[in-house]
Amino acid sequence: MTQPYALTTEVLNGVAVITLDMPGSPVNKFNRGLKDEFVALFDRLERDLNVKSAVLLSGKKDSWIAGADIDEFLELKSAAEAERLSHEGQLLLDSIHEMRTPLVCAIHGAALGGALEFALAAHYRIATDHPKTVLALPEVQIGLIPGAGGTQRLPKLIGVRAALDMILTGKNIRAKKALQIGLVDEMVHPSILRKIAIQRAHEIAEGTRRHVKHSGGMSGFLLDENPAGRRIVLKKAREETLKKTGGHYPAPLAAIEAVAAGLNSGPSKGYREEARLFGEMAMTEVSKQLIFIFFATTALKKDAGVDGVDAASVMPINKVGILGSGFMGAGIASIAIQQGTVVRMKDADHGRVAKGFGAVREILKERLIKKQITRTQMSDTLSLLGGTIDYSGFESVDLVIEAVFEDIDVKHQVLQETEAVIRPTAIYASNTSTIPITKIAEAAREPDRVLGMHFFSPVQKMPLLEVITAERTHPSITASAVAYGKKLGKTVIVVRDGPGFYVNRILTPYINEAGRLLDQGVAIDAIDKALTDFGFPVGPITLVDEVGLDVGSKAGKIMHEAFGERFAPPASMQAVVASGRYGRKVKKGFYLYDEEGKKGDVDQSVYALLAPGARETNATSGSQLQARTEMTATEIQNRTILPMLNEAARCLAENVIRSARDGDVGAVFGFGFPPFRGGPFRYIDSIGVAEIVRQLEDLNDRFPGRFEPAELLLSMARRGERFYPES
């Protein structure tokens, strides 16, 4: 079946104006069909002597080209096949660069991955000064490297330091920054993009305008333009990448090697190394897991969260009331107003409301400092936020988000007070992290309009939102909350009600087991290091210090009451909480903190508070030294991670989560389960269900009751099943 034409061309006074608009797709993507169409078009233009130059525009609204079609990567069966794909892309873009007819890329909207590599091969680049216009090489985020010449052309265009920063982080570059570093030649208003692009194409063809290489100044001369400086830059990049990734992600290091090959041995060697390394990366397990995460989150963006609800019954949310102006309430308010929502924030007194306003202002100020918004935009955004100590203004809200103290009586009181004021059509959502929504809804006049919207801290940075459905929550209410969560930029999973919901439920046994290791005398930093070595962003002891031991203790009590002895809190954790050490927020926890709250070394004095087995001392030379229990990193990892995996399987069996996919995304985005391992269920598959069961049974023999394998795992092991079919 022939692919419908995506490219249309109009020749205006010697300029071929090419418009790319892929039929039936919301965005333009490079695939084999489009590449073939480009080859045929440029071959035709090269032979048409009436055409002197060309312009490439997008026919999509606010999007240029979203990059390569990642579906095609899944079809690759070997490193050699992936290397060949890379080489073909390099040849195509090289032919564009060598064309008789110079090409101007007129970029409005996202130019990502292969799209930016395409633009790098062109002769002139113009970008619009618009929030949707971003340029990036995000391949490392799916375990790959740029494979169509990006590692070779970008350093030549903007210098090795700026190029490595883009390639190794995958971060978006806005038009203004792109102009400053020489990534684009001009920045214009969207309304004149076409006109200016055609004009520049005329000028380039006539020889009156050309691309001018960006000067990096003295530092550019010292570090980008000479071999000694480049060696220093590359060495530092390798060191920092290893430190940041812990060696778990091979793609960033491969990208550095591809860049180095071109700089040190010339373009021919550089392109060969890029293609070879692209082929290698495409076959890594890390890339497969990261691509899974990419597809899972993409699918969730299209998922309404509930079956049988049509778009017409999804309620538009334009005004939100927030109960509580503390850390969470202010964080929710900050992301809501940035999406154009009018927000009314309530607290008990003016001082607390003012403090909440200050917290929101600081979040926006951070964006201002990073030049992500202007002062005018900041002022306009803050104008959407109002405050109150009563319920004035709540009578017109579409959604109320409650973020008050984790106490069921307090939550019942504010629910009843709020329902007396809001419209009967308004949605009421609790941001509770552990209390069942059904229990909160017992006090509701309209329980079918009550659900949970569990944001994660800090709200403005953490990507996940759990939408929790209670027993009587109406499906249209769930769908409306999911839609609004997506509008706020969150990755949303729908979770069935229950203590701890999904993320905190599987996190609790992980934290508890870390506490039991403390009970046995294992060193605090040894526990944390074992888990960061596994791939977590922070260890479990650091995590409870960050969240707050008092918060964790209250949540742990609720979980213990709900699930019994397998969730019993460890003695050491309880002792530290009882001493008033609540973690970073009071600058006193398991670790030392400076006045700004920056974490230091382990606070050795905390060992005196721990369980008897954890605070034994040896007298040596008249001093008291802590005698710590030696334990291998593997043992620490198994003791903490296996109960988490086990609980995740229970959640799936109990329909707390709708699918293994949701469970994996929730763990990765909710608390940083290592993305390169794919999430709890993908990780179980990679080890093998039967092997996970065997390890759990071995631990349960040693510690009866805490590691008893979930029935789902036992039945899957007997039948040789996986959570995901073999790829």
355: CATH: 3.40.50.720
Task: Determine the pLDDT at residue 727.
Answer: 52
What integer is the mean pLDDT of 180-190?
Answer: 95
What integer is the mean pLDDT of 657-682?
Answer: 96
* Contact of 684 with 651, CB cutoff 8 Å: no
Average pLDDT, the chain: 92
Task: Determine the pLDDT at residue 625.
Answer: 43
Same domain, 186 and 219: yes
Ranking 24-28, 107-111, 265-269, 610-614 by mean pLDDT, the lowest is: 610-614
Name the band, by pLDDT with cuts 50, 70 and 90, for residue 514.
Answer: very high
Residue 419 lies in a domain: yes
Same domain, 598 and 673: no
Name the band, by pLDDT with cuts 50, 70 and 90, for residue 1.
Answer: very low
**Cβ neighbours for 573, distance < 8 A, ≥ 6 positions apart:** 511, 512, 515, 518, 544, 549, 552, 553, 556
Name the band, by pLDDT with cuts 50, 70 and 90, for residue 216.
Answer: low
Two tokens at 292? 């899974």
Task: Determine the pLDDT at residue 624.
Answer: 40
Name the band, by pLDDT with cuts 50, 70 and 90, for residue 100.
Answer: very high
CA distance 618 to 90: 65
Amino acid symbol at 450: V
571: CATH: 1.10.1040.50
What integer is the mean pLDDT of 658-671?
Answer: 96
Same domain, 44 and 191: yes
For residue 191, the enclosing domain spans 7-283
Same domain, 345 and 258: no
What integer is the mean pLDDT of 46-68?
Answer: 93
How many domains does the chain divide into? 4
Residue 112 lies in a domain: yes
Same domain, 641 and 627: no
Give me the active site residues, please: 466
Task: Determine the pLDDT at residue 475.
Answer: 95
CA distance 697 to 709: 7
Q: What percent of the chain has pLDDT over 70?
A: 95
What integer is the mean pLDDT of 257-286?
Answer: 96
209: CATH: 3.90.226.10
Same domain, 464 and 519: no
What integer is the mean pLDDT of 168-175?
Answer: 94
Residue 298 lies in a domain: no
Q: What is the pTM of this model?
A: 0.90
Same domain, 134 and 222: yes
Strand-pairing partners, residue 105, are 56, 125
Same domain, 37 and 180: yes
613-638 residue pLDDT tens:
555 444 333 334 456 789 999 999 99
670-718 residue pLDDT tens:
999 999 999 999 999 999 999 999 999 999 999 998 999 999 999 999 9
Task: Determine the pLDDT at residue 224.
Answer: 67
What SS3 state is found at 579? coil
> Cβ-count burial of 326 within 10 angstroms (0-12 exposed, 13-18 middle, 19+ buried)?
middle
314-369 residue pLDDT tens:
999 999 999 999 999 999 999 999 999 999 999 999 999 999 999 999 999 999 99
Same domain, 597 and 656: no
β-pair type (15-20, 7-12): antiparallel
Name the band, by pLDDT with cuts 50, 70 and 90, for residue 722.
Answer: very high
Name the domain boundary from 496, 512, 536.
496
**Cβ neighbours for 537, distance < 8 A, ≥ 6 positions apart:** 672
Q: Cis omega before residue 458 (within 30°)?
A: yes
Task: Determine the pLDDT at residue 622.
Answer: 35
Phi, psi of 459 (to 5 degrees): -55, -40
CA atoms within 13 Å, Cβ hemisphere of 130: 21
What integer is the mean pLDDT of 466-492?
Answer: 96
DSSP 704: T
Name the domain boundary from 633, 664, 690.
633
Residue 293 lies in a domain: no
Same domain, 157 and 244: yes
What integer is the mean pLDDT of 106-112?
Answer: 96
* Contact of 197 with 209, CB cutoff 8 Å: no
User: ∠ CA(280), CA(283), CA(287), 5° rounding?
Assistant: 105
Same domain, 439 and 543: no
601-618 residue pLDDT tens:
999 999 988 866 555 444
Name the domain boundary from 267, 283, 299.
283
Looking at 303-419, list the stretches that DSSP marks H as alpha helix, in order from N- to C-terminal side.
327-337, 350-369, 375-382, 408-419
DSSP 3: P
Q: Which residue has the higher pLDDT, 581 or 255?
A: 255
Residue 11 lies in a domain: yes
Residue 549 lies in a domain: yes
Same domain, 323 and 276: no
pLDDT > 60? residue 390: yes
Task: Determine the pLDDT at residue 612.
Answer: 62
